[in-house]
Structures are given as C-alpha cells and as structure tokens.
Amino acid sequence: MKYMLLIYDNAGTRELFSGPGGEALSEEIGALMAELTASGELAGGEALADPAQTRSIRPRGGAPVVTDGPLAEAKELFGGYLIVDCESIERATEIALRWPNARFAAMEVRPIMNAGGGQDI
C-alpha cells in the first residue's frame, strides 16, 4: 500500500533548518531517507519552496481567479511530502513519527487511492 506523508510548516519551522540546529535536522532526514531507500519503501517525495512564492487559485463566481501568496486563512502550510510503499498504515505512521518535522508542526499520513486491482464485489 502506498501512503503520502504530508509535512506541514507553521511560522518558524522552515527557519529551523537554517538555524543553529539545522544541520543536525538535515542529517537526521538524510539518515531516515537512506534507511527508507535501503528498505525499498521510499517511492517518492519533494520539498516545496517558500510559501511566499505560492500562487493561489480560487473560484470567484464560477471562474478561477489567481492571487499571489498562500491562502490567507491557513495557519499551517503544506511544505512537502514523502510517498512510502509499505505494509500498513501503522508502518507509515511509524515513519512519520520519526520524521523530524513531526516534533515542530503537523504531519498527516494518508492512503493513496489505487486505480486498478480490487476483487469481485
């Protein structure tokens, strides 16, 4: 089963990685990535650039309208994701709990829909 681990930022979490403890955090991530690569569970992932560079698109009167910057009401902003292909949601959650960002801001583990497969119903 594939799961997406959604990593959120709040005010200040991005700076943690450039601050005094940033190198240790990056090393921690590097080690975890290496472990997931070696186990054959890592199936993808990206980090997003600063939210200031966001373009938001919202519907206004039935038509999409573009604005600069993230959606104003959001307190925690989506910052990046991992995709793991592993045995169970318990295992995916265990990985999320070890991801350093989980100590500072929200993360979510969500199953990814599959298009084929399935049994007779």
Partner 1 sequence: MTTPETPDIEGLLRQLGPQVLGALARRHGQFEACEDATQEALLAAAQRWPKQGIPDHPRGWLIAVATRRLIDEVRADSSRRAREDVTGEPGERYEPAPGEPQPPQHDDTLTLLFLCCHPALTPASQIALTLRAVGGLTTAEIASAFLVPETTMAQRISRAKQTIKADGMQFELPPPDQRAERLRAVCHVLYLIFTEGHTTTAGPNLQRVELAAEAIRLARMLHRLLPADGETTGLLALMLLTHARRCARAGPGTALIPLADQDRSLWQRQEIEQGLGLLEHALTTAAIGPYQIQAAIAAVHCEAPSAEQTDWPQIVALYTLLERIAPNPVFALNRVAAVAMANGPEAGLAALSMIENDERLAGHHRVEAVRAHMLELAGDRTGAAVAYRAAARLTTNLPERCYLEARAAGM
Residues forming the site for partner 1 (CB under 8 A): 1-2, 37-44, 85, 87, 111-121
| CB closer to partner 1 out of 73 and 87 | 87
| CB closer to partner 1 out of 91 and 98 | 91
Q: C-beta of 55: minimal distance to partner 1 in Å?
A: 28
Q: At what angle do helices 89-98 and 22-38 cross, to 10 degrees?
A: 150
Closest CA to 99 of 9, 38, 12, 2: 9
3-state secondary structure of 102: helix
| CB closer to partner 1 out of 52 and 119 | 119
Give the helix/strand (H/E) hosting 50.
Answer: none
Q: C-beta of 87: minimal distance to partner 1 in Å?
A: 7
Give the helix/strand (H/E) hosting 48.
Answer: none
Q: C-beta of 47: minimal distance to partner 1 in Å?
A: 17
